[in-house]
Amino acid sequence: MTIRAVVAVAALAALAPAAWSAEEPEDQAPAVSAAGPPLRPPDKRMFRILGVTMGAEGFAPITEVLGAAKVTTRSTGTRVICYVGPDSTRVVFEESPTGWGYTIYSFMTPPTELITSNACTALFRLNQVTPNGIGLHTGQRRDELIELLGPPTTGESQRLVWLFAAEEPVTPGSDPRLPPDTTRIAVRTKIAIRIKHSKAARITVFSHQKPLPAGDAAPH
């Protein structure tokens, strides 16, 4: 399933080890790349925000804590729920057939990038400086972001991207999106941050997963 951030449906049957690119849009599965340096494993606290953790369990643990929210399905098949704070900061949790994630939109984000207010549940304790589990939040400067996350995989004046990769065991049959005999998955995480007025205006944290056949090494 998916928290923010965003994924086009990628075939779970594609099992060949591969690197992936930071240049893909945040809402698409990473592109295959022939080479690249090894990537660090993600810190699982990246997926915790507002006292909830987005993961394979989907929206149920989120709505139990933050309150009921309207589920919207995008054309890509990604399902989203949204909460909005008093200062118009929004957090959008997402789940797709291959992953999960979330995006935080601050009040600095252009209106065209925001989900309409009537699609979001009001959440009084959400605001621009609401941090995730590692202290990341909108409004932070570039140097503060790098202090938290280390040097970005790619960096531009208005967009910074960090990529992470890991291999994890899973209990066969525990995730209906995976083949029932899956025991190991490759997990690829992207943090993409849009910069406006030298500060983070939109933060996307998204993880994709795919099953690994026995004996395969995790892709980087």
pLDDT, residue 112, reads: 66
pTM above 0.85, yes or no: no
Q: What is the pLDDT of residues 166-176, one digit of tens each?
A: 888 888 877 77
In a domain, 220, yes or no: no
In a domain, 140, yes or no: yes
Which regions in the chain score pLDDT beneath 50?
1-25, 27, 29-35, 218-220
In a domain, 10, yes or no: no
Residue whose tokens read 């909830």: 52
* Residues spanned by the domain of 83: 37-211
For residue 119, give the 3-state DSSP assignment: helix
Q: What is the pLDDT of residues 146-159, one digit of tens each?
A: 999 999 998 888 99
In a domain, 25, yes or no: no
pLDDT, residue 2, reads: 39
Nearest to 109 by CA among 148, 138, 137: 138
In a domain, 57, yes or no: yes
pLDDT, residue 161, reads: 94
In a domain, 192, yes or no: yes
In a domain, 177, yes or no: yes
Domain count, the chain: 1
CA distance 200 to 127: 13
